Amino acid sequence: MTELLFKVRTLEEGLQLFRQHFDYEYFLSHRKEEIDLLCASRRVLAEDIISQENIPGFNRATMDGYAVKARDTFGASDSLPAYLEVKGEIKMSEKPDFPLPDGQAIRISTGGMLPEGADAVVMLEHTDQLSETLIEINKPVAPWENVLREDEDIKKNELILKKGQCLRPPDIGLLAAVGWDKVVVYRKLGIAIISTGNEIVPVNVKPKPAEVRDINSYALGAAVRETGSIPHYRGIVPDDEVILEGELRGCLENREIDLILISGGSSVGSRDYTLKVLNRLGPPGILVQGLALKPGKPTIVSLNQQKPIIGLPGHPVSALMVFENVIRRIINDLKGEIFPFAEQKTIEAILEKNVFSDAGREEYIRVVLEKRDGQLWAVPILGKSGMISSLARADGYITIGLNQEGLYQGQKVTVILF
Amino acid sequence: MTELLFKVRTLEEGLQLFRQHFDYEYFLSHRKEEIDLLCASRRVLAEDIISQENIPGFNRATMDGYAVKARDTFGASDSLPAYLEVKGEIKMSEKPDFPLPDGQAIRISTGGMLPEGADAVVMLEHTDQLSETLIEINKPVAPWENVLREDEDIKKNELILKKGQCLRPPDIGLLAAVGWDKVVVYRKLGIAIISTGNEIVPVNVKPKPAEVRDINSYALGAAVRETGSIPHYRGIVPDDEVILEGELRGCLENREIDLILISGGSSVGSRDYTLKVLNRLGPPGILVQGLALKPGKPTIVSLNQQKPIIGLPGHPVSALMVFENVIRRIINDLKGEIFPFAEQKTIEAILEKNVFSDAGREEYIRVVLEKRDGQLWAVPILGKSGMISSLARADGYITIGLNQEGLYQGQKVTVILF
């Protein structure tokens, strides 16, 4: 029995085993595509971005006021103001076509371009207009005060974004600033979703007694979309070794599919032949068979023809929790993303009652969030684990770590939201 | 001057004013559409969902073992086991076609249907198989132990999801469980994005001195997509009152557009005519002119012909922060969403240095996250606010509240990630 060769792994051990066998460099090197910057939000950069220009490219006012030579204001105060002659106004978008003479000032708006010779902007609030052509300045400015210098924001040849960064809205803005209207990113992942089990019927069918609808294709498909990947719904495969093998071989040959999820197959017998099939599909085969997670212990991680195949528990609650904690991390690796925070969605709350776990495994406790007396409470859901309704009722879940025995009432906990 | 009629509002006051004038009920009542459940992730339900069925619909085993009558196991122990005759096995997806006689047991897998008469499952671990047809049970089970009763998960006519809920992957699973393969949700919002200013040039153009590229259309467009809404890129409008009015009237007449964002218009003169135009486009007109935010003070909230028009600062850093903190909340209202947590994406960190703010305004401080000694530190970025590169460098930002004077080194802070 293959079963005996494997020991239950911790999540970190399991991920490490996978990473040792998967050739990320080769995988990512074949996934580059150029897309329009308008569509690049949350995509992962496949190349470093080096600015071809100085930004802003000219000395730019950061306040409304007067462009001046800073030294003309030195020593100015309420009792001994500096007087400067005003030479008109610089319009937005216009390049001043004259150098600023000594002792003169010119009206400028935020974003305007300083004329040659000017090296500071006096804020409007620190001036008094004495006439059309004369102002009084009662506070000195230092050189380059209220000015963004021509290369101060971004320097030509500067590395501004790194390969592997997930592009957030501000990054998109940065790329727009340097004129990158197209950008090279990694292709989106295609993820096959297979539900197995004779008892599973399509969602639009009324189940007969002993049958249940195909919840996992829908719930996992939604979870796949949240990772920015494309779900490939492969439907329901009955408990039949030959059909399962055919389906998996089809997925392995399909170039649109990068990762395969099979849920179910935990009924007596079906788990055994699922394991046999996985080991027939090419090396290295099954890497992990059993993870120290609750729920999620029967999780299988296999790698065949450089495509990961993940076996998830058939139960929808377990399948989704394994997705969030195991598959999401494998997907993040495959996406080529280097930044680890962007995927998190959490909220802090006070734990409402004690929860316990066995040492040596990570445990996920679903919680409902409740606001009471201005405090946010995480109320554990401790019902029967077989209830899909309890999963949907949960706002999120908390994690009892590998070496923790529990979490205690009144403790601050981090809730990971669904 | 219209300017004088308005006072700077706090964010909450501003949102409240908007909510008082906007007819949500009317707005939402015209936005229903039926979509396939496969595409419904993160959409907002436009109707209550009431289950038409009991789920699981049959008495279902939650453990591998033997279906029994609980009373046949009462009193069983290691020293005094109960002996039951085994009558074959229940296959997954098969309805047992006979009632279980007294004193008998039948093999069952997790998810299997209990035969009539059986009211509990004895776990495999608590039995010994003495022969093909005889088992020994050394632990009693209570009635309905290891069984999910036919209506225990979801009851027929039960309200399972409420109008206004944002559908997360577990909710999609729940809808699949009750056979809802189509679902009625609110239409996605269409959001017009207009950049104004003579100095703005398209991203694919090399700016001349004094010009800058149209960063905001791209950055705001990406932020709009993150809310699940559809950006309508309306391009660059020069500083011209007539052209701006024509553009805004076009957006007001466009039925695909529900909300209009104008960034820029803060140069001398352009702000004044923007305000005039907004007040000409129909009642109630400008509601908020100036918010107690930093950055974001010059924000304008207008409502014309029941469409909100928001004026944002032209500076990309300010525009994005106003989007995150003001516009995102208005969008959440327009989406009809009742659950306030789903939009948050935060992480806890320790503040690396003191930061200060004036009382009476909310201040957003951009931070970089750094891991040191296993701790996550939030390092404030305190450079010149004019730098788009500093925004992209930030991992997120922290908020100094309205009545806080600052946050202190070593304090735990919640970082809102971009």
B95 inside 8 A of chain A by CB: yes
Q: Which CATH superfamily is domain B34-55+155-186 in?
A: Molybdopterin biosynthesis moea protein, domain 2 (3.90.105.10)
- Report the alpha-carbon distance of residue A349 to residue B177 in Å, rounded: 30
In angstroms, what separates the C-alpha of A195 from chain B's closest C-alpha?
Answer: 13
Residue of B nearest to A110 (CA): B267
Choose among B209, B389, B417: nearest Cβ to A58.
B209
Instruction: Check pLDDT > 50 for residue B3.
Output: no
Q: What would the pLDDT profile of A104-153 be if each residue is shown by its tens digit?
A: 999 998 889 999 999 999 999 999 999 989 999 999 999 999 998 999 88
Per the CB < 8 A criterion, the answer to whether A217 and A195 are in contact is: yes
A95 inside 8 A of chain B by CB: yes
The reported pLDDT for the residue numbered B169 is: 87
B328 inside 8 A of chain A by CB: no
Instruction: Check pLDDT > 60 for residue B65.
Output: yes
Where is pLDDT greater, at B389 or A349?
A349
Mean predicted confidence (pLDDT) in B410-418: 84
Which residues in chain A have their CB less than 8 angstroms from residue B64's CB? Answer: 268
Per the CB < 8 A criterion, the answer to whether A381 and A367 are in contact is: yes
Q: What would the pLDDT profile of A280-303 be if each residue is shown by its tens digit?
A: 999 999 999 998 887 788 899 999
Whether residue B215 and residue A92 make contact (CB cut-off 8 A), yes or no, is no
Q: What would the pLDDT profile of B96-107 be if each residue is shown by its tens digit?
A: 988 999 999 999
Q: Binning pLDDT at 50, 70 and 90, where does residue A271 land?
A: confident
Q: Binning pLDDT at 50, 70 and 90, where does residue A33 land?
A: very high
Choose among B92, B203, B348: nearest Cβ to A267.
B92
Most A CBs within 10 A among B205, B370, B387, hence the mutation to make, goes to B387
Whether residue B203 and residue A209 make contact (CB cut-off 8 A), yes or no, is no
Q: What would the pLDDT profile of B345-366 be if each residue is shown by its tens digit?
A: 678 899 999 998 877 777 778 8
Size of interface A-B (CB pairs under 8 A): 291
The segment(s) of chain B belonging to CATH 3.40.980.10 are 2-31+188-334
- Report the alpha-carbon distance of residue B219 to residue A150 in Å, rounded: 22
Q: Binning pLDDT at 50, 70 and 90, where does residue B292 land?
A: confident
Q: Is A358 exposed, middle or buried (0-12, 13-18, 19+ CB in 10 A)?
A: exposed
Q: A286: which strand partners?
A: A302
The reported pLDDT for the residue numbered B2 is: 43
Domain A2-30+188-334: top CATH class: alpha beta
B214 inside 8 A of chain A by CB: yes
Q: Note the CATH number of domain B346-417.
A: 2.40.340.10
| Per-residue three-class SS string for chain A | CHHHHCCCECHHHHHHHHHHHCCHHHHHHCCEEEEEHHHCCCCEECCCEECCCCECCCCEECCCEEEECHHHHCCCCCCCCEEEEEEEECCCCCCCCCCCCCCEEEEECCCCECCCCCCEEEEHHHEEEEECCEEEECCCCCCCCCEECCCCCECCCCEEECCCCECCHHHHHHHHHCCCCEEEEECCCEEEEEEECCCEECCCCCCCCCCEECHHHHHHHHHHHHCCCEEEEEEEECCCHHHHHHHHHHHHHCCCCCEEEEECCCCCCHHHHHHHHHHHCCCEEEEEECECEECCCCCEEEEECCEEEEEECCCHHHHHHHHHHHHHHHHHHHCCCCCCCCCCCEEEEEECCCEECCCCCEEEEEEEEEEECCEEEEEECCCCCCCHHHHHHCCEEEEECCCCCEECCCCEEEEEEC
Per the CB < 8 A criterion, the answer to whether A68 and A127 are in contact is: no
In angstroms, what separates the C-alpha of B90 from chain A's closest C-alpha?
Answer: 10
Max mean pLDDT among A4-8, A323-327, B139-143, B317-321 falls in: B139-143
B204 inside 8 A of chain A by CB: yes
A222 inside 8 A of chain B by CB: yes
Whether residue B172 and residue A62 make contact (CB cut-off 8 A), yes or no, is no
Instruction: Check pLDDT > 80 for residue B377.
Output: yes
Per the CB < 8 A criterion, the answer to whether A100 and A59 are in contact is: no
Q: Which two tokens stand for residue B244?
A: 């701006």
What 3-state class would DSSP assign to B271?
helix
Q: Binning pLDDT at 50, 70 and 90, where does residue B146 land?
A: very high
* Mean pLDDT lowest among A267-276, B40-49, B51-60: A267-276
The reported pLDDT for the residue numbered A386 is: 55
Q: Which CATH superfamily is domain B2-31+188-334 in?
A: MoaB/Mog-like domain (3.40.980.10)
| β B230-237/B300-304 pair status | unpaired
- Report the alpha-carbon distance of residue A362 to residue A291 in Å, rounded: 9
Whether residue A169 and residue B233 make contact (CB cut-off 8 A), yes or no, is no
The reported pLDDT for the residue numbered B4 is: 46
Q: Classify domain A60-148 by CATH architecture.
A: Beta Complex (2.170)
Per the CB < 8 A criterion, the answer to whether B51 and B155 are in contact is: yes
Q: Binning pLDDT at 50, 70 and 90, where does residue A267 land?
A: low
A101 inside 8 A of chain B by CB: no
| β A375-380/A406-407 pair status | unpaired
Q: Binning pLDDT at 50, 70 and 90, where does residue B141 land?
A: very high
Mean predicted confidence (pLDDT) in B383-393: 60
Which residues in chain B have their CB less than 8 angstroms from residue A384's CB? Answer: 62, 148, 152
A228 inside 8 A of chain B by CB: no
Amino acid at the residue B250? G
Q: Binning pLDDT at 50, 70 and 90, where does residue A1 land?
A: very low
Average pLDDT, chain B: 89
Return the number of other C-beta atoms located less than 10 Å from residue B222's C-beta: 28
B119 inside 8 A of chain A by CB: no
Whether residue B113 and residue A209 make contact (CB cut-off 8 A), yes or no, is yes
264-293 in A: which are within 8 Å (CB) of B?
A: 266-268
Instruction: Check pLDDT > 90 for residue A186.
Output: yes
Q: What would the pLDDT profile of A195-247 be if each residue is shown by its tens digit?
A: 999 999 999 999 999 999 999 999 999 999 999 999 999 999 999 999 999 99
The reported pLDDT for the residue numbered B370 is: 87
Taking the model in full, what pTM does it have?
0.86
Question: Which percentage of chain B shows pLDDT scores above 70?
Answer: 93
Q: What would the pLDDT profile of A61-85 be if each residue is shown by its tens digit?
A: 988 999 999 999 999 999 999 999 9
Whether residue A341 and residue B348 make contact (CB cut-off 8 A), yes or no, is no
The reported pLDDT for the residue numbered A2 is: 43
A311 inside 8 A of chain B by CB: no
Q: A86: which strand partners?
A: A105
Residue of B nearest to A388 (CA): B174
The segment(s) of chain A belonging to CATH 2.40.340.10 are 346-417
Whether residue B113 and residue A172 make contact (CB cut-off 8 A), yes or no, is no
Whether residue A60 and residue B342 make contact (CB cut-off 8 A), yes or no, is no
Choose among B93, B177, B369: nearest Cβ to A388.
B177
Return the number of other C-beta atoms located less than 10 Å from residue A117's C-beta: 15
Q: What would the pLDDT profile of A335-380 be if each residue is shown by its tens digit?
A: 998 865 545 567 889 999 999 887 777 777 888 888 888 788 999 9
Q: Which residues contact B355 (CB under 8 A, 6 or more apart)?
A: B365, B380, B382, B398, B400, B406, B407
Q: A350: which strand partners?
A: A377, A412
- Report the alpha-carbon distance of residue A244 to residue A221 in Å, rounded: 20
The reported pLDDT for the residue numbered B1 is: 38
154-183 in A: which are within 8 Å (CB) of B?
A: 154, 160-161, 167-181
- Report the alpha-carbon distance of residue A348 to residue B312 in Å, rounded: 31
Nearest to A195 by CA among A287, A294, A254, A267: A267
The segment(s) of chain A belonging to CATH 2.170.190.11 are 60-148
In angstroms, what separates the C-alpha of A22 from chain B's closest C-alpha?
Answer: 27
What 3-state class would DSSP assign to B115?
coil
B151 inside 8 A of chain A by CB: no
Q: Is B151 exposed, middle or buried (0-12, 13-18, 19+ CB in 10 A)?
A: middle
- Report the alpha-carbon distance of residue B189 to residue B258 in Å, rounded: 6
Per the CB < 8 A criterion, the answer to whether A50 and A157 are in contact is: yes
Q: Binning pLDDT at 50, 70 and 90, where does residue B391 land?
A: low
Whether residue A221 and residue B267 make contact (CB cut-off 8 A), yes or no, is no
| β B259-263/B190-196 pair status | parallel
Choose among A53, A180, A389: nearest Cβ to B160.
A389
Instruction: Check pLDDT > 80 for residue A393.
Output: no
| Per-residue three-class SS string for B166-224 | ECCHHHHHHHHHCCCCEEEEECCCEEEEEEECCCEECCCCCCCCCCEECHHHHHHHHHH
A392 inside 8 A of chain B by CB: yes
Whether residue B95 and residue A154 make contact (CB cut-off 8 A), yes or no, is no
B104 inside 8 A of chain A by CB: no
Whether residue B219 and residue A169 make contact (CB cut-off 8 A), yes or no, is yes
Per the CB < 8 A criterion, the answer to whether A135 and A66 are in contact is: yes
- Report the alpha-carbon distance of residue A65 to residue B205 in Å, rounded: 29
The segment(s) of chain A belonging to CATH 3.40.980.10 are 2-30+188-334
Instruction: Check pLDDT > 90 for residue B117.
Output: yes
Provide the CB-side half-sphere exposure for A112 (13 A, CA): 25
Mean predicted confidence (pLDDT) in B302-318: 92
The reported pLDDT for the residue numbered B366 is: 80
B36 inside 8 A of chain A by CB: no
B223 inside 8 A of chain A by CB: yes
Per the CB < 8 A criterion, the answer to whether A412 and A350 are in contact is: yes
- Report the alpha-carbon distance of residue A293 to residue A298 in Å, rounded: 9
Max mean pLDDT among A357-361, A387-391, B205-209, B367-371 falls in: B205-209
Q: Which residues contact A318 (CB under 8 A, 6 or more apart)?
A: A295, A296, A312, A385
In angstroms, what separates the C-alpha of B110 from chain A's closest C-alpha?
Answer: 7
- Report the alpha-carbon distance of residue A253 to residue A232 in Å, rounded: 14
Choose among B38, B153, B316: nearest Cβ to A173.
B316
